[in-house]
Amino acid sequence: MEVVLLVLVGAVMLPMLYVAGLHDVPNSIAVPVRTRALTPKIAVRVAAAFNAVGVLLALPLGVYLYSWFDFPDMDPALTLTVVLSSLISVLAWNLFTYFRGMPTSTTHGLLAGFLGAVLAAVLLDDISAEAVLAMPWFTPLLILLVSPLVAFAVAYLMVFIAVRISRGEDPDAVNRVSRGLQSVSVGVTSVGTGLQQGQRFAFVLFIALTAADVADPAGWMGYAFIIFAILIGVGAWHGGWRIGHVLAHRLVAIDPLRGMVLTTATSGLLFIGSLAIALPLSTSLTAASTIMGAGSNQRFATVNWRQFRRIVLYWAVTPILVGVAAAILTLAASPLLL
């Protein structure tokens, strides 16, 4: 049974990797394309390549995340069912939100999916609910809740600095430098995105391999990360323009200077989350919040607050729907485990 479930986990992860690349790449390319820092064709090529590089660099960080997140001791088949239910729920939600053009968080969904599925597993196995709730859910969830506020504030404040530095300069020269820095930020942000994606999928795969009692799971991770990098890169290559259109055209009117500020803030926060504290930081939540922060700090109203409220609504329902769906799938699969 464990072998079959492990194969199913792998089969679901393959399309999920592609959708993850498709879902997250607009965060790095939408604004630079809008401000004409890069053409769409060049932007997606740069983002795809650096996304893949970031995924490959994330291997040791993902294994570290697993050792930090002490998964409960339960039946191996049930553990694999929890992983499978979480992946299916997140994949379905990501596909739905992509076609709706909403920049929701895969990291947010995975944490909620695991929590919902593990709580359902409490009803099926001799697991203490207190032990499950005592797991370190609070820290990553708090980061996911606070990070949009931090990203908004950082971008908003950085606009003051950028405007002061550029005061009195030729507007054409400022725009030219801003576009040049945005071009660089596409690669930097994409590496940060890849680091986050690599961490979360290494975490999921390491749990599955360990539950299936695969010999030397850490050794298999190197081969798996090559597949991760390829599929996420292919997804990024296709641009994710449905979400990109919302971020670049329907959320806020942005100029090259503020575009430079928000892309710099996004890339910096992603690297802090990936390398400094090695905790899950949502690329989508961070990017959308920096766009709002930089766009809000202007003399004239440019923010589409109605569209932003719609995005926040999707952020709010993501953990609820994904968690409930993962719990239902886990309970539905339980007769097959008996």
The answer to whether 112 and 317 are in contact (CB under 8 A) is: no
- pLDDT digit string (tens) for 81-104? 999 999 999 999 999 999 999 999
- Look up residue 200 and give its two tokens: 């979360």
Residue 235: predicted pLDDT: 92
User: How many residues are there in the chain?
Assistant: 338
- pLDDT digit string (tens) for 11-45? 999 999 999 999 989 989 999 999 989 999 999 99
Separation between Cα atoms, residue 115 and residue 90, nearest integer Å: 13
Separation between Cα atoms, residue 25 and residue 40, nearest integer Å: 12
Confidence check: pLDDT of 219 > 60: yes
Confidence check: pLDDT of 316 > 80: yes
Region 51-80: mean pLDDT is: 72
Confidence check: pLDDT of 68 > 60: no
Separation between Cα atoms, residue 112 and residue 120, nearest integer Å: 12
Separation between Cα atoms, residue 90 and residue 30, nearest integer Å: 23
Separation between Cα atoms, residue 282 and residue 193, nearest integer Å: 9
Separation between Cα atoms, residue 185 and residue 30, nearest integer Å: 12
Residue 84: predicted pLDDT: 94
Residue 216: helix, strand or coil by DSSP?
A: coil
Residue 70: predicted pLDDT: 60
CB hemisphere CA count around 174 (13 angstroms): 16
Backbone phi and psi for residue 252, each to the nearest 5 degrees, phi listed first: -160, 145
The secondary structure of 246-263 as a DSSP string is: IIIIISB---HHHHHHHH
Beta-carbon contacts of 146 under 8 Å, excluding residues fewer than 6 positions away, are none
The single residue listed with the structure tokens 């990017």 is 287
The amino acid that residue 10 corresponds to is: G
- pLDDT digit string (tens) for 239-259? 888 999 898 888 888 889 999
The amino acid that residue 201 corresponds to is: F
Identify which of 144-153, 293-302, 307-316 has the greatest average pLDDT: 307-316
Is the torsion defined by CA of 290, 292, 42, 161 positive or negative? negative
Region 212-217: mean pLDDT is: 77
Separation between Cα atoms, residue 298 and residue 302, nearest integer Å: 8
Backbone phi and psi for residue 282, each to the nearest 5 degrees, phi listed first: -75, 125
CB hemisphere CA count around 50 (13 angstroms): 22
Confidence check: pLDDT of 64 > 60: no
Residue 311: predicted pLDDT: 92
The answer to whether 198 and 55 are in contact (CB under 8 A) is: yes
pLDDT-derived band at 275, boundaries 50, 70, 90: low
Separation between Cα atoms, residue 311 and residue 300, nearest integer Å: 22
**Beta bridge partner(s), residue 303:** 252
Residue 273: predicted pLDDT: 65
Instruction: Report how many domains make up the chain.
Output: 1
As a whole number, the mean pLDDT across the chain is: 85
Region 113-138: mean pLDDT is: 76
Closest by CA position to 106, among listed 124, 87, 121: 87
Closest by CA position to 26, among listed 312, 246, 295: 246
Structural domain containing residue 114:
2-337
88 versus 136: which is more confidently predicted?
Answer: 88
Task: State CA 47 to chain mean position distance.
Answer: 15
